[in-house]
Structure 1
Amino acid sequence: MLGAGARPNRHAVNIVERPIPKTRAEVSTVAFSAYAYLFSELISYAMDRAASITELEERLDKVGYEVGTRMMELLSYREKTVRRKPEVLDVLKFIHSTAWPFLFGKPANDLQQANAADDEYMISDHDLLVGRYISVPRSYATFVPGSIVAGIVRGMLDAAGFPAHRGGGGGGGGAPQKSTTILVKFEAAVMARQAALENARRG
């Protein structure tokens, strides 16, 4: 807030124009206690309005989707050299190595294509922030807090022009999760476009 008679700083950098941090030390952080309180309140709010674990995870996925679409828009604007990425692996690597550190302070641990399906990929994090210190009732033992991150990934992909089906964040509920895997299953139109790009390269 500006005081009486104060003038805005013309040299202040707009938040969306700040460059993407290159190292973990440059990533802006908030107190973990503040994050934990906010996330627990979000889960409580969703639980009060959900009739089942599936509905709870769907609500978290929707919240994550809204975050993801805005995150892709922000990162694309701030990284001014980014052009539209035409390849599936290009956008997945961007999420794995650029967006993940921005969100969680480090890249995801792994990015793999599923063995059984060409349209499925997996992003894994061995210590995902949203899985720490989660304690839920025994009746919610299968609840996966990583659903919100699955929604973030889906939102980023959709905003980049790579729509994917709603999936989930794998990992056991009830106890603190040591590893979370986000399953990405692209829509048929994305894979058809990818095949066309590969055919064009081969001539």
Structure 2
Amino acid sequence: MESAGPDIFDRPRDRSRNHEVAASSLAFLYAETVSYVQGRVSGIAELEKRLSLMGYRIGQKLLAMTSHRLELSTNSKNPKREVRLLPVLLWVHTHLWKHAFGKAADSLERSTERADEYMISTNIPTFSKSISIPKDMSQLSVEAITAGIVEAALDGLGFPARVTAHSVPTPQYPFRTTVLIKLDPAVMKREATLGS
């Protein structure tokens, strides 16, 4: 079977960079995706898990594409792989987020209660702002797809974590979402070893 066209990785870098999808088209597609998945699951937790898995697949491809473009724009003869946690989280917060959503996330914070938890927050999330959730499903976070994207990126960069999305509305930002990153103990052990 022949493919319909060249793979996105085979396209010239500069030609595909400025092609953008209209926000309304993306919102419609995602709303239909949520509706489709909702009809095939038995509860909110399973729905969020499926959305997260979809995001994970997207995140794997996005990481490859973003890393490839970054490598082409910098010194490709001597690529550098980051091994420290904070620079990787900052890269996800800025570069990956910018490639996925058009702008960097609004904040990156470390949990004051647990050393292995970090939070990336966005005041106006891409998916939540255009989907209305019924009152009986108020605990649903449709940004689970974003959590899946972040989890795939961290796994691909060698920093395995469990990532979840939580709605944290404020009066100024009613759709504010926080992506909670709970790092694997091996990552924290490696970070402690590198720090000393």
> TM exceeds 0.5?
yes
Q: Distance in 1 between matches of 2:22 and 2:111?
A: 36
SS of residue matched to 1:135? coil
After the TM superposition, which parts of structure 1 deviate over 3 Å for at least 4 consecutive aligned residues?
A: none
Equivalent residue letter for 1:170 = H
Listed one character per residue, the Cα deviations across residues 103-162 of structure 1 (whole Å, up to 9, x for unaligned) are 111110000100011111000000011111211222211111111101110000001111
How many angstroms apart in 2 are the aligned matches of 1:111 and 1:28? Answer: 28
Q: Which residue of 2 aligns with 1:169?
A: 165
2:70 corresponds to: 79
Correspondence for 1:124: 121
Aligned length: 178
Q: CA RMSD in A?
A: 2.1
- Identify unmatched segments of 5+ residues in structure 2: 1-8
SS of the residue corresponding to residue 71 of structure 1 reads helix
| 1:153 aligned onto 2:144 | no
Letter in 2 for 1:157: L
Partner of 2:109: 112
CA deviation after TM superposition for structure 1 residue 172, in Å: 5.9
TM-superposition CA deviations, 1:44-83 (whole Å, max 9, x none) = 1110111000100000011011111111111111111452
**Is residue 18–residue 78 contact of structure 1 (8 Å, CA) maintained in 2?**
yes
SS at structure 1 position matched to 2:181: strand
Distance 2:28 2:130 in 1: 11
Q: How do 1:186-197 and structure 2 match up within 5 A?
A: 186-197=183-194
Q: Distance in 2 between matches of 1:69 and 1:192?
A: 25
* Deviation of 1:100 (Å): 0.8
Identity of aligned residues (%): 35
Deviation sequence 1:14-45 (CA, Å, 0-9, x none): 43x526x9xxxx75421122111110111011
1:94 maps to a residue whose letter is W
